[in-house]
Structure formats: structure tokens, C-alpha cells
Amino acid sequence: MGTIAADPSLSLQIGRGSNQHGAVVEEINGLIKVYKDEYVERPPMVPHISTALPPEFGVISKDVSIDKFTNIWARFYVPKCSNSGRLPLVVYFHGGGFCVGSAAWSCYHEFLARLAAHASCIIMSINYRLAPENPLPAAYEDGLKALLWLKQGALNGSGEEWWQGMCNLSSVFLAGDSAGANIAHNVAARSITNSLKPLILKGTILIQPFFGGEARTDSEKVQSPQSALSLAASDTYWRLALPGGTNRDHPWCNPLAKGWTKLGEMRLPPTLVCVSEMDILKDRNLEFCAALAKAGKRVEHVVCKGVGHAFQVLGKSPLSQSRTLELMAHIKAFIS
């Protein structure tokens, strides 16, 4: 999911304010306003930055276009030196409740550069279309299009040799946080119907995956000051992202909803789920892990103690920074 919000007290505000576009009908403070005429405003809460990185990161970053018509693009992170041959490729989807966020957000730029160096992998961070202008499944379609773009580049030998020469396309992982983790899971489920060879999908890495449901879990009823995602904001994101006429038990929101395709029928790769102890999504994340295991899927999970939603990109405290290093170590072990 989620949210990338600087203010952990994120609140839903409906019907407040008006301008030439009419009244505000949906709002998450500081992140998004939707007006009566469907005009969408996204205040620049988080800076968008260039690909430049300090030399001490030891990582090269460049942007590439995937689809100019829909403006899908990716930011690559490539470690400068490697003594281990070709590196695994992590295809990453940013969070933001499907409605906000960018691969150029400063918080993601630093986190993913550090992760690429720490885990010795190449990261391809996808800038996908956002809701409500492009409701689901647009983000899933963009994720699959990115994989097919990779496949085509590998088959015809064209593309950006500056990263392809170091990339092991037989070791591809789909990853993301919050809404991005939801995207990674759904793209993995969809990709089995498409031949991706020579790409080989080895696993998914889901950081605080943004799932929901009509019934409330215990962790959803408690708002921790350490968490950047509130229940009100979560509900708003889902109203804006899901297709019209659906609710939070739609399978894109609630993969465990009764009556939907069982996880056991999906050909999913091994999965790592990273859960935050103080996150309202904790219970849903743990239930998802249990359901995967019961369905016979390979799944492992780690609970990051004392931190909330999006701590790895928003947290500035010593505890958040320590937990971020632990998270990177788990991801590195899973990739290896």
C-alpha cells in the first residue's frame, strides 16, 4: 500500500474546500485531493529528484522509457563493482496506495540505491500509472508490460547494455512495499500465463503488502504513532483504486476473501513477506503468510519489531535505520 506520507496522523477529509473544480470529495491530507469534477491534485509532499547519487553509494542510476504512450518508465540502480559475475534483477514497485508516489521520490531513490549496494543486485524501479485516473488493474498491467519489455530486450539483444551486461535474467525477483507489494504479488500471479523466457522468476519480496477487507482486523483498529498509514487513509486509497461497484473484498484488495480463486490454484514463486509490528496491516500480512503456507506455497516472513508502515523509506530514527539494515539483510539472504 500504502501510503507514503510524512504525517503519521494521516486523516480522511471529505467534502471540504472548493475551487473551479467544485468541492473536494476525497482527500488524504498533504498527498491527494479529488474534486467533484474528478480533477486530481497531488501536492508535492515528497521531492522528485534526478538519478544523481553520491559516489560513496557505489551505485549508478539511470532512467529508461518502457512505454512512451502511457508514460511508463523505470529507474535502474546498478552497483559499480561486482566480483560475483552477473547480478540478480529485482523489479521493484513503489508504494502509495496505488494513488500517489513515484520512482523519482527522494525517499525511494535513497532506499533502493542502498538496497542495490547492500544486496548486490540490480534494481529496476517501475513508475506505473496511478489511480483514480487509472484504477486497477492498470498498475498490474504496467508491471506485466515491464516484464515483457525486459523479455523483448533480452531476445533481440537491444536495450541498455550498461546494465544488461551485468544482469542475470534467469534470476528475477518481483518486489515492492505496500501497494507496490500488492502489485508484485498480482503481477507474479498473472505472469504464469505469459511465457517470460529467457526471464526466470525466482521469487517475490513483499514489504508490508497492502491488502484489505470489509471485516476489520485487530491491528486495523489500533493506530500506532509509529505507522504512516491510518485506517481512514487506507479506505480512501481503496475507494479510489478499485473498480467502480466493488468493495474491499474484491480479490485485488482481499486475496483471502471467500469465494475467490484459492491461493492453492496459483503457481506462485517462493515468497518473502516483511511485516512491521506497529503497522495496521500486520494481521492481514500474517494471515496471508499462513494462507500461503497452508496452500503448499514456499513462504517465509520476518517481523520488524517496534516500527510501523513504510519505516524503511520514511523513518529517520535510529531504530528505523537499524530495522532497515535488518530488512536489507533478510532480502539479501532471500535473493542469495
Q: How far apart are CA 21 and CA 24, in angstroms?
A: 8
Q: Are 98 and 139 within 8 A, CB to CB? A: yes
Q: In CATH, what is the architecture of 45-335?
A: 3-Layer(aba) Sandwich (3.40)
pLDDT tens digit sequence for 136-155: 999 999 999 999 999 998 88
Provide the pLDDT for residue 160: 56
Q: Chain-centre distance of CA 267, in angstroms?
A: 21
Q: Are 265 and 249 within 8 A, CB to CB? A: no
| Residue 18 pLDDT greater than 80, yes or no | no
Provide the pLDDT for residue 227: 80
Look-up of cell digits 494521516: 10
Q: Between 230 and 10, whose confidence is greater?
A: 230
Q: Which of 231, 318, 323 is nearest to 282 (CA)?
A: 231
**Which three-class secondary structure state does DSSP give residue 294?**
helix
| Residue 325 pLDDT greater than 70, yes or no | yes
| Residue 178 pLDDT greater than 50, yes or no | yes
Q: Strand pairing partners for 28?
A: 12, 32
Provide the pLDDT for residue 161: 65
| Residue 165 pLDDT greater than 60, yes or no | yes
CA atoms lying within 13 Å on the CB side of residue 234: 27
Banded model confidence at residue 263, pLDDT cuts 50, 70, 90: confident
Banded model confidence at residue 70, pLDDT cuts 50, 70, 90: very high
Q: Between 1 and 333, whose confidence is greater?
A: 333
Q: Strand pairing partners for 48?
A: 105
E strand spans, 52-113: 59-67, 72-79, 87-93
pTM: 0.92
Question: Which member of 61, 178, 191, 276 is catalytic?
Answer: 178
Among 222-226, 231-235, 278-282, 318-322, the minimum mean pLDDT is found in 222-226
The sign one gets for the Cα dihedral 209, 210, 213, 214 is positive
Q: Where are the domains of the chain?
A: 45-335
Q: Which residues contact 57 (CB under 8 A, 6 or more apart)?
A: 113, 114, 117
**Quick check: is 9 catalytic?**
no
**What does the mean pLDDT of the chain come to?**
90
DSSP label at residue 261: P
- pLDDT above 70 covers what percent of the chain? 90
